[in-house]
Amino acid sequence: MYKILEYELIKVLSYMKLLMNKKNLIKLYSQLDLPFQETKQLYLKEIFKTLESKFDLQKNSTQFFIDLGSGSGQVIIYCALNYGIRSIGVEIDPILIKEAKYSIRLLKKSNYAKKKVLGKITLISGDFFELNLKDYDFIYIFSLPTMQKYLRHVFQTIKSGAIIISHRHPFRNFKGCLDLKFKLEHEGDNQEATTYFYNKL
């Protein structure tokens, strides 16, 4: 019970700062409406293999990967460990940020050989609606249709040719901004899911 109360208190204090700015209110609600859902490990493997084979993801390169709403850090940890590129996660929930940092610390202690690539991970505690994404080659997001209308101004900052990966939900009404290049159909655990790969125009 005490852990639940602590969790809620930290979230309230973190959100109060955002709520002081009325412009953030609607965007914050849209983020709070987005439930935390992890991408399955099997799906992650398929997603990154697709990026490598079809979209020129290169291991140990100078490319940049970012996860918008990175949760406990699963995607960026996978990216750094398996591809050795700069992997950035943005998350508004302070509890999930703490979980991600804890996971990274454990991995560094348990596998010293991976310490260098884990050092390529950066966690940002904040609002991804305020980001400029011009430096990123790959942008990953697990979004819901209800929040997509708030993403247009963020996507406009993405450089031409960058790849946007949307797990489960396609982007609607982004004509002239995004071009759908590939649909990856996942199967497993008696469930089906789709990952959509877009090119920034």
The SS3 of residue 156 is: coil
For residues 138-154, average pLDDT: 89
pLDDT higher than 50, residue 13: no
Instruction: Say if residue 165's pLDDT is above 70.
Output: yes
Q: Which of 38-47, 137-146, 163-172 has the highest mean pLDDT?
A: 163-172
Q: How confident is the model at residue 137 (pLDDT cuts 50, 70, 90)?
A: very high
Q: What is the mean pLDDT of residues 125-146?
A: 91
For residue 163, what are the contacts with CB-CB under 8 A and spacing of at least 6?
51, 55, 137, 138, 139, 181, 197, 198, 199, 200
Which tokens in the block code for residue 85? 């590129």
pLDDT, residue 149, reads: 85
- Reading the block at residue 28, the tokens are 């914050």
Distance CA 170, CA 180 (A): 9
Q: Domain residue spans in the chain?
A: 2-200
Q: Is the pLDDT of residue 123 over 90?
A: yes
- Over residues 50-85, the pLDDT tens digits come to 999 999 999 999 999 999 999 999 999 999 999 999
pLDDT given for residue 12 in this prediction: 46
Q: What's the rounded mean pLDDT across residues 95-110?
A: 93
Average pLDDT taken over every residue of the chain: 84
CATH topology of domain 2-200: Rossmann fold (3.40.50)
Residue 10 in this model has a pLDDT that exceeds 60: no
Distance of alpha carbon 163 from alpha carbon 128, whole angstroms: 17
